[in-house]
Structure 1
Amino acid sequence: MSIYIGNLSYEVTQEDLSQVFAEYGTVKRVQLPTDRETGRMRGFAFVEMETESEEESAIEALDGAEWMGRDLKVNKARPREERRPSGGNSWGGNNRGGSRRY
């Protein structure tokens, strides 16, 4: 399981997050997703800790805390939803034939 951290400053680094979360236990991994096109950080991150109790301590202490001028949103990360493949008929409608306007 991992922790979701939202409302992050765009200047935050993996090292910054590791240091903050290390106060609550062993940090196994930090992920800072970036925008594919701009390479800019997207304003959220994921942190994995050694144990669930460490994660719970970090969430309890940091959710709503001000850090780098922002109020953090910290909670258990939800499992990633599978995305449907893109492409194919993206026009909508019911594909039952009949006339279409393009």
Structure 2
Amino acid sequence: MHLLLQPNPSQVLGVFGLSIRTQERDLEDEFSRFGRVEKVTIVYDQRSDRSRGFGFIKMGSVEEATKCVQELNGIELNGRRIRVDYSVTDRPHAPTPGEYMGHRRSGREERDRDYRPRRDTATTGDRDRDRDYRRSDRGP
């Protein structure tokens, strides 16, 4: 049995199916036709800086949000049919912990992430190799 979570009506809306070209200003323009837009947030992938195709909008009232769900759910925006519904949470979304907090690794940090220190072969490697060679050279 598969249950679908039905969010309660609230001021915060989830907008899904966004084009990667859609910007916060585009959403503000559309949603402000039906009430006061308090905040618009599009969620971006922190590694690529591309839209993840969804966002959140906080309207001035539950009534305005309801009007947006009724009027904007299923419209085409920037070539994509969007879905508008009440957000499961009742407040605008903040960045999530970890990578999505916006912590950007520089290229070096990304490369060094899996770095495991090796012994310096310039000082120990030859000596160790020679020692191993001499050991194998010995007879029984």
- Common fold: TM-score over 0.5: yes
Determine which of 75, 82, 85 is the counterpart of 2:85.
Answer: 75
Specify which structure has the bigger relative contact order, considering alpha-carbon pairs within 8 angstroms and separated by 6 or more residues.
Answer: 1
Tell me the secondary structure at the aligned position of residue 42 of structure 1: strand
- Determine if the alignment matches structure 1 residue 34 to structure 2 residue 44: yes
Give the structure-2-normalised TM-score: 0.55
More helix by share: 2
Whole-Å separation in 1 of the counterparts to 2:77 and 2:32: 15
Equivalent residues in 2 for 1:3-18 (5 A)?
Answer: 3-18=13-28
- Paired AA for residue 35 in structure 1: D
Give the structure-1-normalised TM-score: 0.75
- Kindly state the Cα deviation for residue 69 of structure 1 after the two structures are TM-superposed: 1.2
Match of 2:59 in 1: 49
Q: Give 5+ residue unaligned stretches, structure 1.
A: 84-102
Output one character per residue of 1:44-87: Cα deviation in whole Å (capped at 9) or x when no partner.
0100000000000001001111221111111001127xx9xxxx
- Kindly state the Cα deviation for residue 4 of structure 1 after the two structures are TM-superposed: 0.4
Whole-Å separation in 2 of the counterparts to 1:48 and 1:62: 15
- Determine if the alignment matches structure 1 residue 23 to structure 2 residue 23: no
Q: Give 5+ residue unaligned stretches, structure 2.
A: 1-10, 97-140
Match of 1:64 in 2: 74
Report how many aligned residue pairs link the two structures. Answer: 82
